Amino acid sequence: MKVAVVTGSSKGIGSIIAKDLNKRKIKVVLVARSKKLLKKIQQNLTYPKISQIIAKDLRSLSACNFVGKKVKKINYLINVAGATKGGHFLKLDDKTWNDGFDLKFKSALRLSKIFWPILKKNNGKIINIGGGAGSWEPPSRTFMIGGAVNASLNHLTKTLSEQGKLDKVSVSIINPGMTLTGRLKALLKSDAKVLKKNINQILKLRSKAAGIKRPTTPEEVSKLVVKLLKDKRSNGKIIKINGGKVKY
């Protein structure tokens, strides 16, 4: 049985990916901070018995090492964890910047390094979930941390895919634009406060700037993950999905 570690799987895109992989009888290791939320996701899996919960805050190296010790077999590492904060440049303190990089970028880096030897042995795959900010979206003065983190994650993916050519480990990334999750609602609320507009106005402005009619759904992102797992030439692929439309 194949094993997939899915970080950030207690809600949003990560939870949908975990559910989709479990439907295909892949054992999913659900990793996130909240044990309560993870249990709720696990109970709603098609095959809850072929799943495992690890409740850890991945901001620290010790937490990532803990996950590495708990998971002895792995075929797929899906790095989804990360919810960087928006806000005015002058109000984003050093702690907030560190928090963004520790959770999204460093956890992906650390877990990739920890699991690389096993993934190499199993011809495994790493799929990172980044974002439009920092890759193809116009810079946003209210989402600087997210842009910087995603740009770094894209670079990590590219460089790891070069090592992957040698070690037979596939490394790819999906960069969704606006996606219908609770996190999007929080960001819209933050933007509305800074720009002194209501949430619907901000959504319309952001959709227009992105050239889309609607945000992407988590299910559409998950569908791409499943496609990459089946793709024998997935290494190094950088995929954009915006308004439900996919571009390689």
Residue 214: pLDDT band with limits 50, 70, 90: confident
| Rounded average pLDDT over 81-88 | 89
**pLDDT of the residue at 46:** 98
| Rounded average pLDDT over 108-116 | 98
List, in order of start, the domains of the chain with CATH numbers.
3-181+217-247 (3.40.50.720)
**pLDDT of the residue at 156:** 98
The reported pTM is 0.92
> Burial code of 188-209, b = ≥16 C-beta within 10 A, e = fewer?
bebbbeeeeeeeeebbeebbee
Per-residue pLDDT reduced to its tens digit, 27-61: 999 999 999 999 999 999 999 999 999 999 999 99
Per-residue pLDDT reduced to its tens digit, 153-192: 999 999 999 999 999 999 999 999 989 887 777 878 888 8
